Amino acid sequence: MNWVRELLDLYDRQRSLVGKPDKGRFGETVVLLPPFHTTVKAHITVRITENGEFIGALKAAKDDALTVIPVSEESAARTSGTAAHPLCDNLAYIDGRYNDFAPVPDKNANEKHRQYLEGIKAWAESEFSHEKVRAVYKYVLREHTIEDLLSAGVFEADENGRIPEIKQLSFVRFSVEGEFGQSSQRPECWLDDELRDAYVGFVKSRSGKPELSYLTGEVVPVSYLQPKKIRNEGDNAKLISANDDSGFTYRGRFASKEEAFAVGYEESQNIHNALKWIIRRQGKNYGGLTVVVWESDLASVPDYNDSADDISEAAALFADDEDEEKGWTNSAAAAKFISAIDGYRSKMQYSSSVVIMAVNAATPGRLSVVEAASLPGTEYLDNIERWHKDCGLIHISRAKDKHKYYGMPSVKDIADMLYGDDKLLPTVCNRLRPCIVFGKPLPLDMVRTAVRKASSPLSYADKIEWERMLSLACSMVKKKEIENGSKEEWKVSLNTESKNRSYLFGRLLAVADRVEYRTFEPNEERQTNARRYMNAFSLKPFRTWKIIAERMEPYYQKLNKNEALKYKHLIEEICESLDENNFADDTPLDGLYLLGFYHQAYDLRAKTKNNNEEESHND
């Protein structure tokens, strides 16, 4: 996939939204930026007249601080050094008397102010000038911005005439109020579309000699300085950079950075602005890894990282056992999930495509494209549906109500259950993405880790957390069996026809667990012998089963005669399905024993409820 072309197409398709506020993934304001603009968090709004006379000033509210400002090629990429923005900037750039008020003088203040005046003057005196630019230029020439802020009560000076907070609250934006402010345009410079268009024209008029863009192959004015703030407003990592002339960024292959890369200035702006916007609008962060998924026409699509519960917004318990026997499409929770997928399909054009991009920073200054893929929208939805179908079992939500849902947990939950280390979340996300989006095989080491952890219930202080781990392990085992071409169909319901040795031993363990559990007193919390010996059972099933079976006898005595007889008959039926050689085989079980345990345990719980055997505590 050509991710550059996809981002350019995204920008072109959404040009009608350029400069218009939108809602981000956290409810914050996001803007698809016009070329040669960026966003900053402004601290102060200065109000002036069209003649550059001061009216007043106030601190910007936190929910209104995001401000779109014009930038030069140099200032858009500034991280250190000096590079003035053309209109709105920090006080060290705007007011030449900054060092008279700053507690710690800025040694570059004079140069910053010189650059600022030079830049705004060039724009104000050009054919692409604007009334508001000329008004701001007249105002800053007066050299008393900081004094005005003191008089307006924005700042307070100490006994030495210094302003302690001047460095922390220093970014200034302008509102120019006059007759033109009563027209269709707002007085706020950052909300004026005509002012933005004027700056775009000004930059284009000063563009250099056209050269070959390495990104698109077109001959256009190029740029060697690229924007930052890609993943968030504080992000200094850049996608394209070659500013290390003393390291190994390009040396050894090229004589200069100009030979190493050249990117069209405007197309670079559009690419970066599109990526910033779509990430803020619907991207997700996984421990530094940022992933964003979008459909070509911005139709809603499910995030492959989400759980089936998130996608279908399922909140009800799974269907009853009889309904489950009907299979995937007719179960209540599964039907709700498929209905959600079908709803996405109904909103999607036949020719639509889905783009997946993932970016991560190896260092604070370098951002890499970890994934860039595009596939037909219907294929994307089919693959997500297949993932949750192939892995589909009942899972317990991590929401407060601990409701149950059918499908597969989210990638974040999988990473947390498998490794419990946030630092590994990006790795897990990168490894599972091909499995979910492209149908690639599930990593075997993850399956083994899940089986190993689920086989150790004593490692979990919280019973619910172990049950979540068990469900995850069973889902992964089920998925791996399907990938390996298993002829057996593994559903939620118990497979009484299976002759698989591991599966049958798992069923035996579940019956032993149930027999002891049925004798618990109200609110009694302890591990059954079946769970205490679970890890040993998985390694030496024949030998360990003898121990577990012997310890079941006292619990049979506590049950009523009919119920005890029922469990004994069930154990006999399972043992009959195990031939003598398989039963006496003491080699370790594979992961299917967990699936047998899971299916049998669920079946026993469901039948207990259906038979109105009131239990003393919640299953």
Q: Give the tens place of pLDDT for each residue, 486-497.
A: 777 677 778 888
- Say if CB 1 and CB 9 are below 8 A apart: no
Q: Residue range 335-362: average pLDDT? A: 85
Q: Is residue 358 a part of any domain in this protein?
A: no
pLDDT of residue 28: 84
Are residues 387 and 264 part of one domain? Answer: no
Task: Pick the last residue of a domain from 448, 483, 518.
Answer: 483
**Which residues 6+ apart lie within 8 Å of 489 measured at CB?**
495
Are residues 308 and 274 part of one domain? Answer: no
Are residues 378 and 233 part of one domain? Answer: no
Q: Is residue 78 a part of any domain in this protein?
A: yes
- Say if CB 314 and CB 333 are below 8 A apart: yes
Percent of residues, the chain, with pLDDT higher than 90:
59
pLDDT of residue 373: 93
Q: Is residue 68 a part of any domain in this protein?
A: yes
Q: Residue range 595-605: average pLDDT? A: 91
Are residues 506 and 528 part of one domain? Answer: yes
Q: Residue range 233-239: average pLDDT? A: 86
Two tokens, residue 351: 């020719």
Q: Residue range 369-397: average pLDDT? A: 92
Range of the domain at 171: 33-206
At 317, is the pLDDT very low, low, confident or very high (cuts 50, 70, 90)? very low
Query: Would you say residue 1 has pLDDT above 80?
Result: no
- How many domains does the chain divide into? 4
**Nearest in space to 461 (alpha carbons), one of 451, 469, 473, 471:** 469
Q: Residue range 259-270: average pLDDT? A: 85
Query: Would you say residue 182 has pLDDT above 80?
Result: no
Q: Is residue 365 a part of any domain in this protein?
A: no
Are residues 532 and 402 part of one domain? Answer: no
| Lookup result for tokens 């930038």 | 71
Between 317 and 28, name the one with better pLDDT.
28
At 608, is the pLDDT very low, low, confident or very high (cuts 50, 70, 90)? low
Query: Would you say residue 348 has pLDDT above 80?
Result: yes
Query: Would you say residue 250 has pLDDT above 70?
Result: no
CA dist 588 → 453, 503, 579 (Å): 15, 12, 17
Q: Is residue 368 a part of any domain in this protein?
A: no
pLDDT of residue 333: 65
- Say if CB 262 and CB 213 are below 8 A apart: yes
Task: Pick the last residue of a domain from 454, 483, 512.
Answer: 483
Q: Is residue 187 a part of any domain in this protein?
A: yes
**Per residue in 61-91, pLDDT tens?**
988 898 999 999 889 878 777 999 999 999 9
- Say if CB 258 and CB 224 are below 8 A apart: yes
Query: Would you say residue 323 has pLDDT above 80?
Result: no
Phi, psi angles (nearest 5°) of residue 278: -70, -30
pLDDT of residue 181: 45
Task: Pick the last residue of a domain from 206, 237, 270.
Answer: 206
pLDDT of residue 617: 39
Are residues 597 and 586 part of one domain? Answer: yes
End-to-end CA distance of the chain: 49
Q: Residue range 447-454: average pLDDT? A: 96
At 332, is the pLDDT very low, low, confident or very high (cuts 50, 70, 90)? low
Pinpoint the alpha helices (H) of 484-560. Answer: 501-517, 529-532, 534-539, 541-558
- Say if CB 376 and CB 353 are below 8 A apart: yes
pLDDT of residue 252: 61
Cα four-point dihedral sign 408, 410, 411, 416: negative
Are residues 253 and 218 part of one domain? Answer: yes
Q: Is residue 294 a part of any domain in this protein?
A: no
**Nearest in space to 71 (alpha carbons), one of 260, 242, 218, 265:** 265
Between 362 and 477, name the one with better pLDDT.
477
- Say if CB 271 and CB 11 are below 8 A apart: yes
d(CA 133, CA 123): 8
Are residues 456 and 405 part of one domain? Answer: yes
At 609, is the pLDDT very low, low, confident or very high (cuts 50, 70, 90)? low
Q: Is residue 185 a part of any domain in this protein?
A: yes
Q: Which helix (H) or strand (E) holds 406?
A: strand 404-407
Two tokens, residue 364: 């604070």
- Contacts for 89-95: CB closer than 8 Å, 24+ residues apart: 89/116, 89/171, 89/172, 90/170, 90/171, 90/172, 91/145, 91/146, 91/166, 91/170, 91/172, 92/170, 94/140, 94/145, 94/172, 95/140, 95/143, 95/144, 95/145, 95/146
Between 528 and 245, name the one with better pLDDT.
528
**Per residue in 7-37, pLDDT tens?**
999 999 999 999 888 888 888 888 999 999 9
d(CA 418, CA 447): 9
Q: Residue range 468-477: average pLDDT? A: 96
At 108, is the pLDDT very low, low, confident or very high (cuts 50, 70, 90)? very high
Are residues 436 and 334 part of one domain? Answer: yes
Query: Would you say residue 217 has pLDDT above 90?
Result: no
Q: Residue range 553-581: average pLDDT? A: 91
Are residues 227 and 107 part of one domain? Answer: no
Are residues 178 and 103 part of one domain? Answer: yes
Are residues 169 and 252 part of one domain? Answer: no
Q: Residue range 276-293: average pLDDT? A: 91
Q: Residue range 268-294: average pLDDT? A: 92
CB atoms inside a 10 Å sphere around CB 527:
16
Query: Would you say residue 548 has pLDDT above 50?
Result: yes
Q: Residue range 500-519: average pLDDT? A: 94
**Per residue in 400-446, pLDDT tens?**
888 888 899 999 999 999 999 888 999 999 999 999 999 999 999 99
**Per residue in 40-59, pLDDT tens?**
999 999 999 999 999 999 99
d(CA 239, CA 366): 6
**Per residue in 156-177, pLDDT tens?**
999 999 999 998 889 999 999 9
At 246, is the pLDDT very low, low, confident or very high (cuts 50, 70, 90)? low
